[in-house]
């Protein structure tokens, strides 16, 4: 589908090489776009407020004062964590890798600052 869109945008022939047409159209490969979106989701999870419902599902280190949900990651055994796949498990695994501190309401973001 991305190839068809690139050919339509550039007006290239249908026999043109896929990589070249996508480059000329300025489209990144789909797998790289999905990796970028997954990384952005991890950054968004790091900036959630303390009262967000996702905080109660994350691991013990990331509760931010929220009471743990009965199905929270912190209450799962290590063997069960190995079997479970999903976005929340990935976010819980990637949060320690974030090196910058995120504050959703920094003083620089206030009007007039």
Domain ranges in the chain?
1-34, 48-98
Q: Give me 21's structure tokens.
A: 């047409």
pTM over 0.75: no
- Mean pLDDT, the chain, integer: 79
Evaluate whether 102 touches 43 at the Cβ level (below 8 Å): yes
Q: What is the pLDDT of residues 56-97, one digit of tens each?
A: 787 777 767 777 788 788 788 888 888 888 878 888 777 777
Least confident of 22-36, 67-81, 98-112: 98-112
Whether 109 shows a pLDDT value over 70: the answer reads yes
Evaluate whether 85 touches 104 at the Cβ level (below 8 Å): no
Look at residues 35, 8, 36, 34 and name the one whose alpha carbon lies nearest to residue 22.
8
Measured CA to CA, the distance from residue 67 to residue 64 in angstroms comes to: 9
């Amino acid at each position: 589908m991305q190839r068809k869109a690139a050919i339509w945008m550039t007006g290239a022939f249908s026999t043109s090489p896929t990589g070249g047409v996508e480059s000329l159209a300025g489209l990144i490969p789909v797998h790289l776009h999905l990796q970028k979106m997954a990384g952005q989701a991890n950054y968004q999870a790091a900036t959630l407020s303390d009262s967000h419902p996702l905080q109660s599902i994350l691991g013990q280190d990331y509760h931010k004062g929220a009471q743990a949900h009965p199905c929270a990651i912190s209450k799962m055994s290590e063997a069960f964590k190995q079997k479970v796949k999903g976005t929340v498990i990935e976010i819980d695994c990637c949060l320690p890798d974030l090196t910058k501190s995120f504050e959703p309401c920094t003083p620089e973001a206030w009007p007039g600052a």
